[in-house]
Structure 1
Amino acid sequence: MKKILTLSFIAISIFCFSQIAMSPQTSANRWTFGGGLGLGFGSNSSFNLQVSPRVGYKITDQLEGGMIGNVSWQTSDFYKSTMFGIGPFANYYFARSFFVGANLQQYFINSTEKYNNYKYSTDETALYLGGGYMQSMGNNAFMQLGIMYNVLWKENNSIFSTGFVPTVGFVVGL
């Protein structure tokens, strides 16, 4: 249960703190930018830092596609690890306040146990489907709150403790 709660808090914090500085969008500009910066703390001196940039393109006023990446550094009394992820995403916006989306991520993980120096490397593919709510922050900037589920997640065959991921992100250009 501790693992699930800790990983849930880490997942929530992934996108919680983000800043993007850019000029207001012109009507001809269909590019969107966003991302997040997350921090997580837990028992056994665990610490997590994650950076998640995203770049999108508005195909129509309601449909956006693009690429999202992330890098995560984790450490505790027992291990240290680095995880990289990259992949395409698509979001469909409706009623100017809601969205549904899909995100395919390919993760690459390197981990080292601190006591015996055992090194472990693996990769995993995740297909997240979900949706959520958008709150306008002015000048075509939005905060997105939602939940995604990894439909490829298998309990005994995944580096992640659950398939559900709460999301908080910031996007400029919508």
Structure 2
Amino acid sequence: MKKFIIPVMLMISGSVFSQITTSAPVAEANRWTFGGGIGLGFGSNSSFYLQASPRVGYRLTDDLEAGVVGSVSWQTSDYYKSTMFGAGPFANYYFARSFYVGANLQHYFINYKDKYYDYKVNDQEAALYLGGGYMQRIGGNSFMQLGVMYNVLWKENSSAFSSGLVPSIGFVVGL
């Protein structure tokens, strides 16, 4: 009887382990990532700033991700009102599961109104952000990203932005 039970148990345990190993790649098959960031600011002269930037990415490899990011922001104060929409591709390379470098090309559509002089501007501007930062795991496959990007296309007197340097805080799920 022992000669019969031991081979049957080995075959059953072998089939259980083979099912576990074949089902693991199915869970790994989802390579999509989702995330983004939000910003909120207050200042003098009744100024208020609200920004949101959702993103969708795809992990091409375990360390390389590419996707699309959008951006929308509203600014207002006693003197001006501005709305800005942007969209474009991005790519991030992750190393040591704690750091990343990235590139982000955005094309912005800007609507600006000066309340004091009744001056309006509808403009477009491209921005190429290069930079990197640190990632902190916040649970499972979710991370918080802290970084700095620089717009290499920024020009001091011809840009809608006050600076080319942009600090960033965002969240990513799916890495």
Normalised by the length of structure 2, the TM-score is 0.83
SS of aligned partner of 2:150: strand
If you compute each CA radius of gyration, which structure gives the higher value, 1 or 2?
A: 2
Aligned 1:65-80 pairs, distance under 5 A: 65-80=66-81
Q: For 1:136 and 1:60, how far apart are their aligned partners in 2?
A: 19
Structure 1 residue aligned with 2:126: 125
- Would the aligned equivalents of 2:38 and 2:170 in 1 still touch at CA under 8 Å? no
Structure 2 counterpart of 1:111, one-letter code: Y
Structure in which a larger fraction of residues adopt helix: 2
Q: By how many angstroms is 1:162 displaced? A: 1.0
In structure 1, stretches of 5+ residues that fail to align are 1-24
Alpha-carbon RMSD: 1.2
Aligned 1:44-83 pairs, distance under 5 A: 44-83=45-84
Structure 2 residue aligned with 1:159: 160
SS of aligned partner of 2:45: coil
- Over the matched positions of the two proteins, sequence identity in percent amounts to 75
Structure 2 residue aligned with 1:135: 136
Is 1:43 the counterpart of 2:48 in the alignment?
no
Cα deviation digits, residues 65-117 of structure 1 (max 9, x gap): 00000100110000111000100000000011010000000011001122343
Structure 2 residue aligned with 1:26: 27
Q: For 1:139 and 1:26, how far apart are their aligned partners in 2?
A: 13
Structure 1 counterpart of 2:147, one-letter code: G
Q: By how many angstroms is 1:157 displaced? A: 1.1
Cα deviation digits, residues 21-63 of structure 1 (max 9, x gap): xxxx931100000012211111111001111100000000000
Structure 2 counterpart of 1:139, one-letter code: G
Count of matched residue positions in the alignment of Structure 1 and Structure 2: 150
Q: For 2:27 and 2:131, how far apart are their aligned partners in 1?
A: 29
Structure 2 residue aligned with 1:112: 113
Q: For 1:146 and 1:118, how far apart are their aligned partners in 2?
A: 35
Structure 2 counterpart of 1:95, one-letter code: A
Structure 2 counterpart of 1:157, one-letter code: S
Moved more, 43-52 or 107-116: 107-116
Structure 1 counterpart of 2:69, one-letter code: I
Q: By how many angstroms is 1:144 displaced? A: 0.4
Q: By how many angstroms is 1:156 displaced? A: 1.1
Normalised by the length of structure 1, the TM-score is 0.84
- Would the aligned equivalents of 2:50 and 2:75 in 1 still touch at CA under 8 Å? yes
Q: For 1:118 and 1:132, how far apart are their aligned partners in 2?
A: 39
SS of aligned partner of 1:61: coil
Moved more, 77-86 or 25-34: 25-34
